[in-house]
Chain A
């Protein structure tokens, strides 16, 4: 509807300000504007970053020393489980949907998302889903405590609050699916004339592929948790051996969702990095089309490697070989990307503003996570790493200095465009260095702990692990509290600062830099000319 109105009103809409946002709370409740909704998504993600981060700090505080100090094991398990669920479904995914909302229409020269009212819906489901999920902590039986993978039979022994957790996962999944549909329709139908698929910015490409992955696997997760629900409350036996079911089946279904899910998280990060690095290298992205094909290749491979999470569960030799080889194959398109980014920087006129610092840290640290991933892909070696802190180190390296650094870097990159003010560069750089030191201090020692045999998901451990755990906890608190600085920089930037130019940076590529800063409430009512 909105698009139609805008089309009719295009003539008198040239004065952009005639048509500003509504006032007060209703602006945010009923908004169909992609920029408002993008902001809502990003703020929600920021709040959840601190909720989930607080849970991580409970875990790290407990693990600072051997023995039980602060929490009982049951609550500890709830913290690890909820930390993961909140961070994956409540923080990182909404953050990238926020970026998609803000940037995709501006990058492809569209006036808004294709389905603005659906857009409002997909956001407003989130706070309710998040509240339901968090409310389980205060219920009889507590929050889910069987790990974010929700493996039966353990998860089927949860209290009745499990139903709420499952319902929350349903809602979060529904929000992602609606968001994905919106992104696909926008990209397919709303591009400015002349914006062919292979002219789209890399961020748009990665999101298009991510959206298809979301549609492919989120419904499968919904099915899996529905089966858990009926097993727990309605007497079915999908996963209960007593009734002829098989708990291993759940692991297959879950990881059929779960492995593409990790690429759902990382592909938009790749997109953001592909925008930042060329801008501060003052060169176009090296090997654009190979980047597109590499992204598609990664997405395809991600769908056929799921059982590498289950080597220790037992599978025929042929199965181990297949999943080992296909997993190691992913290193090839990923390396194409890493080398292309490096080649983009090669002989570029580099400057190191905060977004670029985060992008370069992403390159280094994500690669470390990738390397440990290749180690674990080898079935015989995986028996040593499985369910140890080594895996915790691995996936935190790809998720925190990987996905989260990309999101923070993207936020710094586009903040001036969003707010119209430059952020405080000095504070931004201090934030970066504190984060970079904190994140490595937290997660690098966990490699050592894992190789030495410390299992994950335990509140207490043998004393020989004490030193590196203490280091890791100190790093976690440093990293966690330095994110408060990010909030301060963002708030300061919203309230004022040096006026940003339309280009913001030194002649960056992309349509979003052709509109004034801050971006007007409505952009591209008339499609821009595409060269």
Chain B
């Protein structure tokens, strides 16, 4: 009988370790998901850092792609936020500039953070931003409004079937805690 108790203990230990590992695995899915999104553009996630355009990219003038801009304000945040133009006809491989306009409607200083998303997901990693107001938090004085720049290029490797790309920005009010979390998330 005591040998069976010993056997039980060993098996229980193994099973408890298994359950504990799976608990950890749940959290491990967070960085795994981030990496998957970076690689595949899953969820329309674009790079959060300045893109380096390799030298000698050919402009593909034979191909025209429509890029649409969408600006969203979430959770009744006190912003006015819209793109200067709602869509552009572009050639892959060429750099383009555009602006988004934001205005702080509150009577106090606010820090905003724009979070980008690209649809379709397959286009996300081909959408290169060399300059973007989404790279940093944007500080606005009370009632201040200004244009914020975006410089981008769609690389010529964009899959054949994509003829329309939508770039959407959601403009959040950055809270203290959220700001720290953003830093943590971007360093993962």
Query: In the complex, A448 Cα to B16 Cα: how many Å?
Result: 46
Q: Which of B40, B119, B122, B182 contacts A244 (CB 8 A)?
A: B182
159-184 of chain B: CB within 8 A of chain A: 170, 172-175, 177-182, 184
A399 at the A/B interface (Cβ < 8 Å)?
A: no
Q: Which of B22, B33, B41, B113 contacts A215 (CB 8 A)?
A: B22
B129 at the A/B interface (Cβ < 8 Å)?
A: no
By a CB distance below 8 angstroms, the chain B residues around A235 are 175, 177-178, 180-181
Q: How far is the CB of A279 from chain B (nearest CB, A)?
A: 31
A28 at the A/B interface (Cβ < 8 Å)?
A: no
35-60 of chain B: CB within 8 A of chain A: 37, 40-45
B88 at the A/B interface (Cβ < 8 Å)?
A: no
Q: How far is the CB of A527 from chain B (nearest CB, A)?
A: 12
Contact bitstring B102-136, A, C-beta under 8 A = 1, else 0: 00000000000101000111100000000000000
Q: Find out whether the CB atom of A189 lies under 8 angstroms from the CB atom of B7.
A: yes
Main secondary structure of the interface of A (DSSP, over half): helix
Query: In the complex, A215 Cα to B45 Cα: how many Å?
Result: 33
B86 at the A/B interface (Cβ < 8 Å)?
A: no
Q: Find out whether the CB atom of B25 lies under 8 angstroms from the CB atom of A242.
A: no
Contact bitstring A167-194, B, C-beta under 8 A = 1, else 0: 0000000000100110011001110000
14 contacts between A and B (CB under 8 A): A114-B8, A184-B15, A189-B8, A189-B11, A215-B22, A237-B181, A237-B184, A241-B172, A243-B178, A243-B179, A243-B181, A244-B115, A246-B45, A314-B120
Choose, from A119-127, A249-257, A468-476, the stretch at the interface.
Answer: A249-257
Query: In the complex, A181 Cα to B172 Cα: how many Å?
Result: 45
A238 at the A/B interface (Cβ < 8 Å)?
A: yes
Q: Find out whether the CB atom of B5 lies under 8 angstroms from the CB atom of A4.
A: yes
Q: Which of B4, B170, B178 contacts A189 (CB 8 A)?
A: B4
Q: Which of A221, A240, A249 contacts B178 (CB 8 A)?
A: A240
Q: Find out whether the CB atom of B22 lies under 8 angstroms from the CB atom of A4.
A: no
Q: Which of B20, B74, B177 contacts A219 (CB 8 A)?
A: B20
Query: In the complex, A180 Cα to B11 Cα: how many Å?
Result: 12
By a CB distance below 8 angstroms, the chain B residues around A188 are 11
By a CB distance below 8 angstroms, the chain A residues around B113 are 242
With A4-B5, A219-B21, A220-B26 known, 13 other A-B pairs at CB within 8 A are A115-B8, A216-B18, A221-B26, A223-B26, A227-B26, A241-B74, A241-B172, A242-B173, A242-B174, A243-B179, A243-B181, A256-B26, A316-B42
Query: In the complex, A177 Cα to B119 Cα: how many Å?
Result: 40
Q: How far is the CB of A468 from chain B (nearest CB, A)?
A: 35
A503 at the A/B interface (Cβ < 8 Å)?
A: no
Main secondary structure of the interface of B (DSSP, over half): helix
B61 at the A/B interface (Cβ < 8 Å)?
A: no
A497 at the A/B interface (Cβ < 8 Å)?
A: no
By a CB distance below 8 angstroms, the chain A residues around B22 are 215-220
By a CB distance below 8 angstroms, the chain A residues around B21 are 219
A326 at the A/B interface (Cβ < 8 Å)?
A: no
Q: Find out whether the CB atom of B170 lies under 8 angstroms from the CB atom of A177.
A: no
Q: Find out whether the CB atom of A177 lies under 8 angstroms from the CB atom of B178.
A: no
- Using A184-B15, A189-B8, A235-B177 as known contacts, say yes or no to A314 and B25 having CB atoms under 8 A apart: no
- Using A243-B182, A246-B37 as known contacts, say yes or no to A238 and B12 having CB atoms under 8 A apart: no
Contact bitstring A224-250, B, C-beta under 8 A = 1, else 0: 100100000001111011111110110
Of all chain B residues, the one with the shortest Cβ separation from A6 is B1
By a CB distance below 8 angstroms, the chain B residues around A246 are 33, 37, 43, 45
By a CB distance below 8 angstroms, the chain B residues around A8 are 1
A7 at the A/B interface (Cβ < 8 Å)?
A: yes
| Chain B: interface size category | 35 or more
By a CB distance below 8 angstroms, the chain A residues around B120 are 314
By a CB distance below 8 angstroms, the chain A residues around B142 are none
Query: In the complex, A469 Cα to B22 Cα: how many Å?
Result: 42
Q: Find out whether the CB atom of A7 lies under 8 angstroms from the CB atom of B181.
A: no
Query: In the complex, A235 Cα to B27 Cα: how many Å?
Result: 17
By a CB distance below 8 angstroms, the chain A residues around B170 are 241
By a CB distance below 8 angstroms, the chain A residues around B11 are 184-185, 188-189
Query: In the complex, A236 Cα to B37 Cα: how many Å?
Result: 20
B85 at the A/B interface (Cβ < 8 Å)?
A: no
For the complex of A and B, the 7 pairs showing the least CB-CB separation, nearest first, are A223-B26, A235-B177, A244-B185, A242-B172, A237-B181, A243-B181, A219-B23
- Using A215-B22, A314-B119 as known contacts, say yes or no to A3 and B177 having CB atoms under 8 A apart: no
Query: In the complex, A163 Cα to B6 Cα: how many Å?
Result: 39
Q: Find out whether the CB atom of B181 lies under 8 angstroms from the CB atom of A220.
A: no
A47 at the A/B interface (Cβ < 8 Å)?
A: no
B84 at the A/B interface (Cβ < 8 Å)?
A: no
Query: In the complex, A43 Cα to B67 Cα: how many Å?
Result: 61
Q: Find out whether the CB atom of B185 lies under 8 angstroms from the CB atom of A237.
A: yes
Of all chain B residues, the one with the shortest Cβ separation from A225 is B26
Q: Find out whether the CB atom of A115 lies under 8 angstroms from the CB atom of B12.
A: yes
Q: Find out whether the CB atom of B18 lies under 8 angstroms from the CB atom of A215.
A: yes
Q: Find out whether the CB atom of A245 lies under 8 angstroms from the CB atom of B26.
A: no
Of all chain B residues, the one with the shortest Cβ separation from A222 is B23
- Using A115-B8, A240-B178 as known contacts, say yes or no to A253 and B115 having CB atoms under 8 A apart: no
Query: In the complex, A434 Cα to B143 Cα: how many Å?
Result: 67
A315 at the A/B interface (Cβ < 8 Å)?
A: yes
Q: Find out whether the CB atom of A316 lies under 8 angstroms from the CB atom of B122.
A: yes
Query: In the complex, A265 Cα to B113 Cα: how many Å?
Result: 44
Of all chain B residues, the one with the shortest Cβ separation from A247 is B43
By a CB distance below 8 angstroms, the chain A residues around B42 are 315-316, 319
